[in-house]
Structure 1
Amino acid sequence: MYARAVRRGRVPRWDAEAVPCLLELALLHPDPDDGDWLVPTTPNEIMARLLRGVYDEVRESQQRVGSAVAAFEWYAGLGRQAQAAPTSVEGTAIRVLDGQSRIQAALDEATRASTTEVLTIQPAGIPREHELAEGLHRALELRGRGVRMRDLYTHVARHSQRLLNHLELMGGSVEARTLDEVAERLILFDRTVAFIPANADRTMALELRHPALVDYLATVFERLWRLAVPLTAPLSDTSIEGISHREQSIAALLAEGHQDAVIAERLGISVRTCRAHIARLSETLGAASRTQLGVRIAQMGLDGSTRYAETISAGGNDSEDADQEEMSSSSSRWHR
């Protein structure tokens, strides 16, 4: 079945139901363009993965190693036959990477091939120590070849001394900027290959090589980059006394009707921290309830609306009526 998949490029999913081990061992994986078909993992990838397990057993069974190598040579021969056949760009434009080891191997390969620039978006807030340590070897390798690196973080990353130390270690080869919120994780090498998450827990990723997709992601990055603030530059203060930049960002998201957990994720902070900011915001604005907080946010223009500011500046007795009207109309929005 695997040999047939290598020769033909893919096989119907139902044909492989009798041999589930092919999916379990990741010898076959879903075609990103059509879930009813399975495409084969290349023999070279299989060889690299299986040899890691075989090395631990060398002392116990030399014969087993010999059999494995023989099998690898046979499959590699099939791979050479498949490579000799013409392939379409679309066939290699999107590759599904299942598992951290395959994702890491693909990132390492792209790092070795990179020659000009690497662009990354890191939405997770303050980077964890192990994340910085894992990326350090790639960053040092890129710096050694003169590759330019630009990283986008949320404003929360400004409070990470580990990140500041990491950037200092990298010297001028890495430039970092921050925004209130950024897009999902992205790593883009030389504007030719990009990696994005394929599921929520990031155990799967997509490797993208289609020029149109890569150009689109590069454009998104550049537009966010122009809006971002250099990591070492101070953030502009809000014009409203007693309300921090972070609380202003939370107010804008509250005005859009988002729940606390969604706001926390988008800003790269914990839900507990988010709720503490909301409590301080309510106290500053004199709001006794969530609905009233929505009204106060609109009155202060923190939601981008000018209607209340105009109403208040006009004076008169209608302001209280307008306040009550806004409380009523926004009640359902703030309790969604």
Structure 2
Amino acid sequence: MAGHRTEEHPHGADRLCEAGDRVYSRAVRRGRVPRPDAEPVPCLMELALLHPDPDDMDWLVPTSPQEVMTRLLRGVYDEVRASQRRMGSAVAAVEWYAALGPQPARAPGAQGPLAGSAIRVLDGDARIQGALDEATQNCTAEVLTVQPGGIRPEHELTEGLHRAMALRGRGVRMRDLYTHVARHGQGLLNYLELMGDAVEARTLDEVFDRLILFDRTVAFIPANTDRTMALELRHPALVNYLGTVFERLWRLAIPLTAPLPDTGIEGISHREQSIAALLAEGHQDAVIAERLGISVRTCRAHIARLSETLGAASRTQLGVRIAQVGLDRTRASSSGSSQSSQSPESSESAVIRVAGVSGAPGRQSPTGR
């Protein structure tokens, strides 16, 4: 109940000032306090938290905390009722105006939102989860998902398990795209083992932001960075576009049951190869880490090992070595590019981009610290 003391004590019984908190707590512990103790905190008398002892007017006795709680809850209840009345009035006014315009028609047998709501904003976890549950109920054939980031936490997998099990029970086919880092999560492996043939998973160096697509008719994507809001998309052009993007990534992805391909360069891992290619594109360490689903610290550790393997003592030298061994061409070749070599100009550009990732060439350590 502690708060900040002011001369007027502008607070309620639910947030006493510091001095009032001390005196009231003492009164509750001891059963009463001398009247002079309460003179610096008249708020206790004003809020009826203390009242004179009928047996001795020089002392004050506390109102029981249970009675104070009842009084507070009654006030909160009254405030809620008033808010509900105001909300009802606002809804009635909006509905009256809405009735003046043409009403969107629902297709025969259609469920869920009206046909006119091609894009719907879902604010808050409750609305998002409710919309996902409804889409799960109506899904009959296929679910496509993209899961960015690294190893998926157990609680994320558990949250959507009831939907996945319901889909599996109806014979719905599910395909999931993850980053390569997700391969190291035991929770994901347990989930896939539980789902059996109902789910097929593949991985890529990086994927775009989260996506859930049901039956090529409704898609869900984040609407803000912290994912407390989402967009429900039912516009056919948008849904088809997202489905096409998914299929192209799916063809490039590697099945989770298959090992990652060898880089062909001794001492350089597949992840370091991906980091080298992103460095060549000029990305900062933090951006690379986010795109590959790893921490910045892990990313910089890989850059340090990459520099050691290639014998580079600076970012400038690292850019030169990456271009010399062809690591700056990895992403182009993995995307189906027909170019097998680079011009001197393009290799020089890659060197400049790597050197400039963390500052001026030659002034940064290979790890970017």
- What's the TM-score, normalizing by structure 1? 0.70
CA contact (8 A) 1:177 1:228 kept: yes
Given candidates 209, 214, 224, the residue that maps to 1:184 is: 209
TM superposition shift of 1:102: 1.1
TM superposition shift of 1:236: 0.6
Q: Is the aligned partner of 1:250 residue 2:272?
A: no
Distance 1:192 1:291, change over 3 A: same
CA contact (8 A) 1:292 1:327 kept: no
Match of 2:152 in 1: 127
Given candidates 169, 179, 187, the residue that maps to 1:162 is: 187
| Higher Cα Rg, which structure | 2
- 2:226 alignment partner, SS class: coil
TM superposition shift of 1:240: 0.5
When the two chains are superposed, the root-mean-square deviation of aligned CA atoms in Å is 3.4
TM superposition shift of 1:328: 7.9
CA contact (8 A) 1:94 1:209 kept: yes
CA contact (8 A) 2:210 2:221 kept: yes
TM superposition shift of 1:97: 1.0
Q: Mapping of 1:97-136 within 5 angstroms?
A: 97-136=122-161
User: How many percent identity over aligned positions?
Assistant: 74
CA–CA separation in structure 2 for the residues paired with 1:328 and 1:161 = 38
CA contact (8 A) 1:193 1:207 kept: yes
User: Greater helix share, 1 or 2?
Assistant: 1
Matched positions, count: 261
**Runs of 4+ that moved beyond 2 A:** 81-91, 305-308, 325-336
TM superposition shift of 1:327: 9.5
Structure 1 unaligned residues grouped into runs of 5+: 1-56, 312-321
TM superposition shift of 1:124: 1.6
CA–CA separation in structure 2 for the residues paired with 1:146 and 1:245 = 36
Q: Which amino acid aligns with 2:238?
A: L
CA–CA separation in structure 2 for the residues paired with 1:84 and 1:112 = 32
Q: Is the aligned partner of 1:142 residue 2:136?
A: no
Task: Write the deviation string for residues 297-320 of structure 1: whole angstroms up to 9, x where unpaired.
Answer: 001100018348xx8xxxxxxxxx
TM superposition shift of 1:204: 1.1
Given candidates 273, 290, 308, the residue that maps to 2:315 is: 290
Task: Write the deviation string for residues 166-198 of structure 1: whole angstroms up to 9, x where unpaired.
Answer: 000011100000000011110001100000111
Given candidates 255, 262, 277, the residue that maps to 1:230 is: 255
- What's the TM-score, normalizing by structure 2? 0.64
Task: Write the deviation string for residues 105-149 of structure 1: whole angstroms up to 9, x where unpaired.
Answer: 111111111111110000021111110000100100111111111
Q: Which amino acid aligns with 2:341?
A: T
Match of 1:306 in 2: 341
TM superposition shift of 1:99: 1.3
CA contact (8 A) 1:242 1:284 kept: yes
TM superposition shift of 1:104: 1.1
CA contact (8 A) 1:149 1:174 kept: yes
TM superposition shift of 1:100: 1.4
Task: Write the deviation string for residues 198-235 of structure 1: whole angstroms up to 9, x where unpaired.
Answer: 11111111110000000000000000000000001111
